[in-house]
Structures are given as structure tokens and as C-alpha cells.
């Protein structure tokens, strides 16, 4: 029996995934969470064979969830499911240790195949996404890890003081990093950064779901 833990903030998606996977007869949903923090707590009490994780989540995104789960449980097999099919996000997730990546645009059969492959210890990428990962270039690829950390937090609506506190930097250093990021990317201001992030898949397109959009009130 393949034991699967699902992380997705949409209850109907979790219900749908449960129906698709448990209909196979050899798969069982052993737990669910709507965000990474709850998942980190729940998974601590029992390690599943596969963690099926959405990318756009409230709070931590799929990249942060992957990092934190693997830091605590290095043997976890994490399969990311998302609407994002382009840009640097899939590459960064695989580099962080995710074992597979499948688009929500795929049918249930593709998700079942992905879960089986990852549970067996193999990587999974659907064909179209695999080609994009090899050939596609994103302007965000030129940023350093520190610069990308700042970008992720800006896209979540964090202000300079909050970013400085979270990353252990001074506010002036954060301002300097943001200035360098904007210059490298050729954008002006947060709105330009958000538009570019949508274009290259760091955020879902406008109107494509609220879980990945910046929250200025946070």
C-alpha cells in the first residue's frame, strides 16, 4: 500500500485527489494539511511514502515546505503538483530535493503515475515540463540564492523591516539587495517585479487563485 500525505489549501482539490488515488486500490491518503506549518507537525508523527504538495500555499510556498520537510525528514519523497509549468520554479524545487513535479492540468492518470514513480524511488516529470526544464531560460536564474530569498519575501508582501528580521540582515542591506535585484531583472518597483514573477511562473496569473498572491496586510 502506498501511503500518501496531501498538502493543498483547497478542500475540493484534496477531496478530488483522495478520490483519484484511493480508487487505485493500492494507495491510501494517510493525512492532509492546508498549509506547510500544519503539514510539518502532522508528518512528524508518521512518515508517508509520498508527500503530494501544492506549490501555491498560504504562508510557506512549496519550495519552503520542501526545504523544511527535508531538513527534518531527509528520506521524504516529495511530489509537487501545481499550475506552474514554466520559469525557474520547477528547477529550484528539484534542486531543493523534490522528487517530482506534475502539472494540475494533467489528468488523474498522470498524477497516479507520478505517485507510483516517486514512491518507487524514481523521479517524475511529464514530458512537456521536462523539455522546458532543459531549454527554458528565466531572468530569475541570474539571481543569487540570497537575492531569490528576498524576492520570495517581497512577492509575499513583506516589507523591508520584516525581510531584514526574517533573514537576519539590516534594513539597509535589504534595500541594497532589492535595488540590485530590480536592476538585474530590468523592472521598476514591486508591481514590475510581480508582473515578471507571474510571467515566469513564480506567481499564478492574475485571477488564477489567491494562495500565491502577495498579501500586503501580512
Angle among Cα 19, 68, 198 to the nearest 5 degrees reads 70
Instruction: Give strand pairing partners of 125.
Output: 101
Task: Quote the pTM value.
Answer: 0.66
Where in the chain do CATH 3.40.50.2300 domains reside? 2-135
Is 70 exceeded by the pLDDT of residue 195?
A: yes
Residues 6 or more apart whose CB falls under 8 angstroms from that of 193 comprise: 151, 154, 155, 181, 182, 185, 187
pLDDT band at 137 (very low <50, low <70, confident <90, very high): low
Answer whether CATH 1.10.10.10 is correct for domain 140-199: yes
Q: Does the structural domain 2-135 have CATH classification 3.40.50.2300?
A: yes
| pLDDT value at 134 more than 90 | no
Q: What is d(CA 22, CA 32) in angstroms, rounded to the nearest whole number?
A: 14
CB 39 within 8 A of CB 59: no
Mean pLDDT of the chain: 84
Which pLDDT score, from 0 to 100, does residue 156 have? 82
Higher pLDDT, residue 84 or 105: 105
> In the chain, which segments carry CATH 1.10.10.10?
140-199
* Nearest in space to 44 (alpha carbons), one of 26, 69, 22: 69
Amino acid at each position: 500500500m502506498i501511503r500518501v500525505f496531501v498538502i493543498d489549501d483547497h478542500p475540493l482539490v484534496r477531496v478530488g485527489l483522495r478520490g483519484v488515488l484511493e480508487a487505485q486500490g493500492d494507495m491510501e491518503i494517510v493525512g492532509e494539511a492546508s498549509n506547510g506549518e500544519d503539514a510539518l507537525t502532522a508528518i512528524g508523527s508518521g512518515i508517508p511514502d509520498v508527500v503530494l504538495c501544492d506549490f501555491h500555499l498560504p504562508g510557506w510556498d512549496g519550495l519552503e515546505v520542501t526545504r523544511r520537510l527535508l531538513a527534518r525528514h531527509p528520506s521524504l519523497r516529495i511530489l509537487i503538483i501545481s499550475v506552474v509549468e514554466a520559469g525557474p520554479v520547477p528547477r529550484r524545487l528539484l534542486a531543493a530535493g523534490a522528487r517530482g513535479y506534475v502539472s494540475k492540468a494533467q489528468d488523474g492518470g498522470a498524477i497516479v503515475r507520478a505517485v507510483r514513480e516517486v514512491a518507487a524511488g524514481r523521479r517524475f516529470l511529464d514530458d512537456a515540463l521536462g523539455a522546458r526544464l532543459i531549454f527554458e531560460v528565466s531572468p530569475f536564474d541570474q539571481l543569487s540564492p540570497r537575492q531569490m530569498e528576498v524576492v520570495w519575501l517581497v512577492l509575499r508582501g513583506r516589507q523591508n523591516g520584516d525581510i531584514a528580521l526574517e533573514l537576519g540582515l539590516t534594513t539597509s542591506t535589504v534595500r541594497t539587495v532589492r535595488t540590485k535585484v530590480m536592476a538585474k531583472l530590468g523592472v521598476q518597483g514591486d508591481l514590475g517585479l510581480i508582473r515578471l514573477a507571474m510571467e515566469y511562473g513564480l506567481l499564478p496569473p492574475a485571477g488564477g487563485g489567491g494562495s500565491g498572491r502577495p498579501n500586503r496586510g501580512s
